Amino acid sequence: MKILVVDDKLSVQETLTNLLCQHGHQVDVSTNGLDAFEKAQKNDYQLYIIDHLMPLMNGVQLVKNLKQTEHCATTPVLFMTTQGISEAESLPEYTLFNDVITKPLNNEALLKKLYSLGAVPSPTEFTIIAS
């Protein structure tokens, strides 16, 4: 699976990249929504993992733009936020997200979300390899 991770924090980028690569995925990284939107227009990703608050273009605006782009519109989105699930659920754009996870990331919760989106094997088969 080809996955685009969009987050302005290096530690989050590294955590997600390491975890996804351990499961055989190809991962591209963007530090802001504008760069991510440009990459999405040039590549065919099977999953977007997008942070909420970023410079240049925030995660909500990025998701809105992706959903209006023909070849990106049906690609699943895992939305990450530090503001809590209830805050994300109150966003008018909430229905554009396939799932939401809070930060700081919890590996077990993250793996369950990735499983629900088809990016990792069954939760009973999880193996977290220390990096």
pLDDT tens-digit readout, 80-124: 999 988 888 888 899 999 999 999 998 888 888 988 888 777 655
Has residue 14 been placed in a domain? yes
* CATH classification of the domain holding 90: 3.40.50.2300
What range does the domain containing 78 cover?
A: 2-125
pTM assigned to the model: 0.89
Instruction: Please indicate, yes or no, if residue 29 is contained in any of the structural domains.
Output: yes
Is the pLDDT at 60 greater than 70? The verdict is yes
pLDDT digits (tens, 9 = 90+) for 25-58: 999 999 999 999 999 999 999 999 999 999 899 9
In this prediction, residue 88 carries a pLDDT of: 87
Count: domains in the chain: 1
Q: Output the pLDDT for position 24.
A: 87
The DSSP line for the chain is -EEEEE-S-HHHHHHHHHHHHHTT-EEEEESSHHHHHHHHHHS--SEEEEESS-SSS-HHHHHHHHHTSTTTTTS-EEEEESS-HHHHHTSTTGGG-SEEEESS--HHHHHHHHHHTTSS--GGG--PPP-
* pLDDT beyond 50 at 130: no
Residue 99 lies in a domain: yes
Residue 130 lies in a domain: no
CA atoms of 118 and 108, how far apart (whole Å): 15
> Residue 122: its pLDDT value, please?
64
Q: Could you tell me which of 95, 71, 91, 90 has the C-alpha nearest to residue 4?
A: 71
User: What's the mean pLDDT in 8-18?
Assistant: 95
Whether the per-residue pLDDT at 16 is higher than 90: the answer is yes
